[in-house]
Amino acid sequence: MRQPRYRFSAILRDQDVVGVIGMWSLPGFCFIEHVAIADAFRSAGLGQRALRAVQRHAVDPVVLDVEPFGTDFFAARRVTFYRRLGFHYCGHPVTLPPYAGKTTEPSNLMAWPMALDEASRVQVVETIEREIYGLHPLIPRHRAV
C-alpha cells in the first residue's frame, strides 16, 4: 500500500463498501491486480461501473490477468465479463510470480483497448516482474509462452 504507483480503491454502493479494486500505474500501462465485489452485490453492475471508470480515466492501456478460459465455470464467466467491457483475451498463458504461500499457476492476460501481440505480452510480463515483484531482468527465469 505504500507503493506510490499502487492504488487501492473502494467500490461503494450508497455509503457501503461493496468491493475493491487494486491497480498499478506501470511504465506504458495500468495493471489491474485485484477486482472483488462482495457476493451479495454481484451481478448488480458495480464491477462493470468501476472498470468503466478506470477505462474513462486511463491514459495508458489497461491490462489484467485471469485464469485461463475453460479452466472452470468461474474463469469462463470472468473472461466473458471482461470481454463485454472491450478487453481482448490473450490465448497464450503467462506465469506471474505467486503470492507468498501460493503455488505458481498459469494465467492469461487481457488488455484494453487493444490486443497484445507476443512482443507486447512478453514486455508486459517483464514489466510486472520488475516493477511489482522486484525481479532483476538479467536473472534467468522460466517463461511460460
pLDDT, tens digit (0-9, with 9 covering 90-100), for 74-86 = 889 999 999 999 9
Percent of the chain residues topping a pLDDT of 90: 72
- Confidence class for position 144, pLDDT limits 50, 70, 90: very low
- pLDDT of amino acid 137: 61
Q: Is the separation of the CB atoms in 60 and 53 below 8 Å?
A: no
Please give the model's pTM, rounded to 2 decimal places: 0.87
Q: Is the separation of the CB atoms in 21 and 50 below 8 Å?
A: yes
Q: Is the separation of the CB atoms in 49 and 80 below 8 Å?
A: no
Q: Is the separation of the CB atoms in 60 and 28 below 8 Å?
A: yes
pLDDT, tens digit (0-9, with 9 covering 90-100), for 115-141 = 999 999 999 999 999 999 888 665 555
**Residue 97 pLDDT > 70:** yes
**Residue 51 pLDDT > 70:** yes
**Residue 70 pLDDT > 50:** yes
pLDDT, tens digit (0-9, with 9 covering 90-100), for 6-24 = 999 999 999 999 999 999 9
Q: Would you call the peptide bond into 4 cis, given omega within 30 degrees of 0 as the criterion?
A: no
CATH class of segment(s) 6-131: alpha beta
Q: For the packed helices 73-84 and 46-57, what is the interaxial angle rounded to 10 degrees?
A: 50
- Confidence class for position 103, pLDDT limits 50, 70, 90: confident
**Separation CA 107–CA 96 (nearest Å):** 8
Grid coordinates standing for 4?
A: 506510490
Grid coordinates standing for 94?
A: 503467462
Q: Is the separation of the CB atoms in 132 and 120 below 8 Å?
A: no
